[in-house]
Structure 1
């Protein structure tokens, strides 16, 4: 097997394993005697896998260019990314906590490495999609178990902490009683919801491939194809159920926007057969939600209407967070407080609160403005604009349903980033963010 093939399969494995939060904490963050997640430094199990992939890639490059003249062709995107890396390194001189910036810089480098690998590794769409689907299916089964038992069984080897609905600090929703939201193997239900949104989108891509095979050659239907159909449709039901159990509004909105984009993409391509098939898939998702609401309708109503006690409290905290972010930005408008230093900046403003109250603002743009300032934010905008230009160029050359799926996943990530911070503030989110952006400009 060629080295590049080994790297590709390890990459698929990395995608499957990404939600598992197994880690070795080597420096515990602490504020006012309490655990401080955003100041904690750890080595994650998937980081080891990513390091192996990176070493193999370097080996492949060395073998390929041995004895040859190297000609680097840098795009505007590459220059912006290089400038961003230099800016972050320089920011250690003015960051509130230099060690914190360096730790988050290492996570950023891992995310950027994943970005380049995802875009240039020549990944097969089918295998890539199955990596997401198998991972999402397992997370959904775990989510269903957690919701039905109202308990999370701890396992240090899987990176899961023991929790139940009566514990303080557990994410819950109120209806006819108090219910724990599903976490999967992740540290927050919103993260589970975000992951399942991406997995469902790639599942839709696999279902489109199945429909094309069936539509163009129905006489060639085999037992394997029937088995594939049963697996894919069952996965759609289970993963939709898992997404509902996360009770993540940001994830729900992200999926809705992504599915609308898929409608537009298929319509523009005049894929009449896929449009009819996609309508059926939408009805399946809607049916799962309706069936759930027949039993737990009050929970959904409370979550959507934001009128219950917990929802009002959640909205108030977010609005307060927006105000804090603007205040921090005004005080450090040019270069920010430093990558990964937002919660440290909150502590400088008010050091009397318990550790768990020091949370990043629930908006990626406000968070990056506070941490990077105007200069860093402009460079980051340059990166995003460069990615958009590449997307438009690729779309003109080849617009097909696989690319619609990749772009809808990226759009979902952007939408969820408007309502949450984990895509910038936590290891899993950072890797997911750059992974999906890389896949959005994936080269065939």
Structure 2
């Protein structure tokens, strides 16, 4: 008995960082924090001129520190799935430069963090600058942790998805409840926002001439709840197909675990129907619940961001999937095969339309007055954009310092205290605070995450979806079993074939996370919370780490 408990205690110690990481995901939606220092603006408290310690910050710090301790003391257990582990003897010598150079998030991200710290020298409020730079360092290290610790182990990714979806469901129930009673529920011990139609500064909409509060959940603003629900909805839709591929479909009917259309036995990807024909009512109910809460946030940027992400994930699969090639009689007569001139032109047209859409969105975000209709949100964004453009004009190269934009605002006599907010555009915000150099580094990180040198190579239809290849049930990346046409016996697939199938599945997983990031980029054109609010920051950098980890995994880069 003593041996059993000693073994369990040893396992717990060796995986202590995972418990802290899951604690971070559980506390992500909550605004449980301690205000350490606040610098008043316009004679009162301001959200953007304070120094805070969140409960999720504590879990993030414990996660990173315990992981580094495990690394430096060689407590990792080698496994077949993770044979290349960096230990104390070569962590900072042989392999570390390779880790940095082969990961754009690690290399460019480190330069970005160092530039943020350097802004201390020209910041007006130096404590604010140091605080925001330390926060950026924390997020950077967290993304590196996810890249090398969470992504290589599919079971950890599965558990992380569960916790994020759980947070989405809990906040959805609370959000619907708040909207129904038009007041706070009373969960003050969990730092639920105090909201009411009569409180100044509370986000409201006008319905039939009556003021109605927007749904908050546990978040400090409905827009942040909307962004989190967009993330959790996508993960809810993808969870079943990623981690529970069906085995009762003949191999020739399989395109991948991410099928869009599967003829008579399948349905649309993520719609909640397994290949066996059984309807996943529970999954559908979760999606409907979260969609309802998302609508009640009235967050236009989050709703449109969700649609953009889903289009990015679904449409290419519909066009590129080989279903029409492998299911007899299912291919439309007018369709064109992949690789033809028609196919290439259609992909370029889709990409160009997406680029045009983002350019128009960016122009509306930067110059809200170019549209003919008026709204309070657009007028407020115009005010913040004007102030930001003035700051950029005066400090174009270096910016005013990390976290110092609101602090540098002039005293507007007709501006209420709650209206002292950053510009509602992350790119303008970064330019204002970190200058054109900081903006370039941030955009370059985004570019490399979408166009990394380690993007998965395109595979032929036959290699990816050969009729003789079967994917075992319950695996994230599949691969490994081959059926012989001659006698029906089962062989171990070659390592090359296993790697090919795993690579194909990984590329589709990358597309999922890229779609989420694309939705976040759209949100960043119209809001700032993904850069300077705790929950938004964590969401953004978690996705950064997931994308980098999947791309490095597909390239067989060493894992920590």
2:121 maps to 1:87: no
What does 1:221-300 align with in structure 2 at a 5 Å threshold?
229-270=280-321, 272=323
Q: Relative contact order (C-alpha < 8 Å, sep 6+): which is higher?
A: 1
Q: CA deviation at 1:226?
A: 10
Match of 1:37 in 2: 47
Q: Equivalent of 1:422, from 488, 506, 529?
A: 529
Of 367, 389, 393, the residue aligned with 2:455 is 393
1:40-51 to 2 correspondence within 5 Å?
Answer: 40-51=50-61
- Count of matched residue pairs: 404
Which 10-residue stretch deviates more, 404-413 or 392-401?
A: 392-401
* Alpha carbons of structure 1 residues 9 and 307: separation in structure 2 relative to 1, 3 Å: farther
Shift of 1:155: 3.9
How many angstroms apart in 1 are the aligned matches of 2:424 and 2:144? 27
Structure 2 SS opposite 1:243:
helix
Q: In the alignment, which of 124, 127, 131 is matched to residue 99 of structure 1?
A: 127
Could you state the TM-score of these two structures normalised by the residue count of structure 1? 0.84
Output the CA distance in 2 between the equivalents of 1:253 and 1:183.
Answer: 18
1:109 aligns with 2:140: no
Judge which range, 130-139 or 262-271, deviates more.
262-271
Q: Could you say what secondary structure the match of 1:49 adopts?
A: helix
Structure 1 runs not aligned, ≥5 long? 219-224, 274-305
Find the counterpart in structure 2 of residue 378 from structure 1: 440
Matched, 1:139 2:188: no
Structure number with higher helix proportion? 1
* SS state at 2:107 partner: helix
Over residues 347-399 of structure 1, what are the superposed CA-to-partner deviations in whole Å (9 max), with x where a residue is unaligned? 3x647743212111111111111111112222223322332333861465834
* Partner secondary structure for residue 42 of structure 1: strand
Secondary structure at 1:433 match in 2 = helix
* Matching of residues 66-77 of structure 1 within 5 Å: 66-68=88-90, 70-71=93-94, 72=96, 73=98, 74-75=100-101, 77=104
Report Cα offsets for 1:31-68 as digits up to 9, x if no partner.
12222100121110111111211121011111123445
Question: Could you say if the C-alpha distance between residues 4 and 243 of structure 1 is closer, same or farther in structure 2, counting changes exceeding 3 Å?
Answer: farther
Q: Which residue of 2 aligns with 1:149?
A: 181
Q: CA RMSD in A?
A: 2.8
**Residues 1:391 and 1:271: Cα distance change in structure 2 (over 3 Å):** farther
| Residue 287 (structure 1) aligns with | none
Q: Which residue of 1 aligns with 2:422?
A: 360
TM-superposed CA distance for 1:10, in Å, is 3.4
Distance 1:364-1:399 versus aligned 2 partners, 3 A rule:
farther
Change (3 A) 1:341 1:405: same
Q: Could you tell me how far apart the structure 2 residues matched to 1:17 and 1:227 are? A: 34
1:305-325 Cα deviation digits (max 9, x unpaired): x999xx712111112222221
Instruction: Tell me the residue number matched to 2:466.
Output: none
Aligned to 2:402: 339
| TM-superposed deviation, 1:30 | 1.5
Cα 1:16–1:25, aligned 2, differ >3 Å: closer, same or farther? same
1:433 offset after TM fit, Å? 1.3
In our comparison, the structure showing a higher alpha carbon Rg is 2
Point out where structure 2 has 5 or more consecutive residues left out of the alignment: 1-10, 75-86, 251-264, 266-275, 325-370, 459-499, 554-560
How far apart are the structure 1 equivalents of 2:303 and 2:140?
27
The match for 2:546 among 426, 439, 442 is: 439
